[in-house]
Chain A
Amino acid sequence: MAISVDAPDVSRDMREKAGYTYTFLSDPNAEVIRRYDLVHAGAGEHGRDIARPGEFLVDSSGTVRWVNLTENYWVRARPEQFIEAAKALP
């Protein structure tokens, strides 16, 4: 599941073009992004607040089991890392 400040139609176009099947959620005012302390203030278009990259694997009880917070936005977690972390879920 992916979250950004993008409007639903922007995400829909991108999702369809890329062929992604998972859920994309829109957080235009960065409220949830702020709750997760991931706001990158003023980094978007016209000084808009956006999310810095961050990935969390949450188990069925709602507990965080794995976190990845990159220090360079060109360096992202790879699918193998997610799969490895997901295998360890109860």
Chain B
Amino acid sequence: MKTRSFNWLVWAGLLISVVAFVSYFFVFVRFPVTRDFPWASLLLFGVAAALLLVGLRRAFAPERHRGSKVAGLVAATLSVAIFGVFVFTTFIMARWMPTAQGAPQVGQRAPEFSLADTDGKPVSLSELLSTPINGKAPRGVLLVFYRGYW
């Protein structure tokens, strides 16, 4: 008699893979310690892989119905695909950037500019460098160029 009992291990593995993927972009990305190297996400993918391996062994046991094998393979394939997209996004695609070899280097002058602030008022670098903060002349300005939120 073939058994048709629900193989929760493979589906739990798939669910944790989805959680591992989504949680990086919505949660772990907010904290440098889990963003710079996504160890927390990789750990979750590891848990998913362990569940899937045990689940697949169960799915391919001789007493199991064929549907169990198919379900196990579907869950495992989807999980591997999700992991692949995650690795591609965080480790490969994120490095596709110009090297910025012509960017100002230490010891060079920072090119002057004037741009609109959040109120539309023009602000220049020289202005930022000379406007007193709490009654004291600023010792410097940190320029942070970022990708933007569009």
Taking beta carbons and an 8 Å cutoff, which residues of A are in contact with B? 1-6, 8-12, 14-15, 23-27, 31-33, 35-41, 43-45, 48, 50-60, 62-67, 69, 71-76, 78, 82, 86, 89-90
Contact = CB atoms under 8 A, between A and B. Distances in A.
B142 A82 contact: yes
A34 B129 CA distance: 21
B70 interface: no
A9 B119 CA distance: 8
A53 B98 CA distance: 10
Contact of A65 (B36, B112, B140): B140
Contacts, number: 184
Interface of B: 29, 32, 35-38, 90-91, 94-95, 97-113, 115-120, 123, 125-126, 128-130, 137-150
Main secondary structure of the interface of A (DSSP, over half): mixed
B145 to A, nearest CB: 4
Contacts of B118: 8-9, 11-12, 15, 24, 26
12 contacts: A3-B115, A5-B150, A10-B150, A11-B118, A15-B118, A26-B115, A36-B103, A52-B100, A53-B145, A60-B129, A74-B29, A74-B94
Contact of A75 (B36, B107, B115, B139): B36
B138 A74 contact: no
Residue of A15, A39, A55 with highest tally of chain B CB at under 10 A: A55
B145 A62 contact: no
A5 to B, nearest CB: 5
Nearest to A25: B115
Contacts of A33: 145
